[in-house]
Amino acid sequence: MKKFLSNPLLHFLLIGASLFLLYNRVKPPRGGQDTIIIDDDMVNRSIELFRKEWGRPPSKEELEGLVDRQIQQEVLYRQALKMHLDHNDELIRRRMEQKLNFITKDLATMRQPSDDTLKAYMYRQDGKYKVPDKLSFVHIYFNPDRRTDARGQATDILSRLASPDAHPEDQFKQGDAFPFLQKVEDVDRKSIASQMGDAFADSLMMVPTGRWMGPLVSGFGTHLVYVTSHQPSMEPDWQKVRADVLRDYQYELSQALDRKVYQDFRKQYKVHFELRDTSLRSLGIDRKLGDHE
């Protein structure tokens, strides 16, 4: 028996049997390899994409090629994941983040709020949707590049514009040519500021109607202004702004869902910093962003 147990052939058979048993335990079961399922949705999606690009459905041969391409893509995709080729790829990271954000955006747009909810949201926006003040005015321009004392000359002319018979538009000739309109109608403060500057716009909003006032200073120079009409801001027509309010409401909701989803996911992970660079450690990002037990 002792001689039998020391026989090299027996050792070889035992090792072979062990390897056979181990292989059978770790090898994938027959027919149990990764399964790629081609269903109606996948095939119909391929048909629809082809139709959008070519304006017709694919032929039988073209459809076979499309499906074969889907299979090839899925095989290579799964194999790439097994090989961890997705790790540390910035483009893939951004795309995955984007797809998760799309999910929260879809959730936000699926929630159709009532008009009462949207109106309550609108009134919390500090007048964002209100119809702004609208002004119509004319102005006389004094070019500082052509005058040694544009402000003084404007003040002097202003004293002679008190006559009620003088039509405002008849006074342009007392000033210089302006590169834009000198008769402006139905504009809000934002439009005025974009062309003439914030200081000019703020001053103009305070000018009473029906009289020449100034001098006002813009980025172009000095002006005398005559406001012909001033329509104060008002609450918006609900039907005209509802679509904008809904869009903004859903965007804000999707942002809140993004934060909530991230916070919930973040709880599943621990972040441990191993910073050896003293200049990096001095920034304190490990203390702020890391998890400490």
The string of pLDDT tens digits covering residues 14-63 is 555 554 454 444 444 444 457 778 888 888 888 899 999 999 998 888 88
String of b and e for 105-131 (b: at least 16 CB within 10 Å)?
Answer: beebeeeeeeeeebeebbeeeeeebeb
pLDDT on residue 245: 93
- For CA atoms 86, 89, 95, 97, the dihedral sign is positive
In this prediction, residue 4 carries a pLDDT of 41
Position 242 scores a pLDDT of 93
Which pTM value belongs to this model?
Answer: 0.54
What's the CA gap between 176 and 139, in Å, rounded?
11
Q: What is the pLDDT of residue 19?
A: 45
Tell me which amino acid residue 247 is: R
Segments of the chain with pLDDT less than 50? 1-7, 9-13, 19-20, 22-32
Give the amino acid at 123. Answer: Y
Architecture of domain 134-231 in this structure: Roll (3.10)
Buried-exposed string 174-207: b where 16+ CB fall within 10 A, e elsewhere: bbbebeeebebeebbbeebbebbbeebbebbeeb
Alpha-carbon dihedral 228, 233, 235, 241, rounded to 10 degrees? 80
Q: What is the pLDDT of residue 162?
A: 66
Burial class (CB in 10 A: 0-12, 13-18, 19+), 18: exposed
Give the per-residue pLDDT at 166.
60
Q: How far apart are the C-alpha atoms of 139 and 223, rounded to whole Å?
A: 6
The pair phi, psi for residue 209, each rounded to 5°, is -80, 155
Residues whose CB is less than 8 angstroms from the CB of residue 239 and which lie 6 or more positions away in sequence, other chains included:
none
Q: Are 46 and 67 in contact (CB under 8 A)?
A: yes
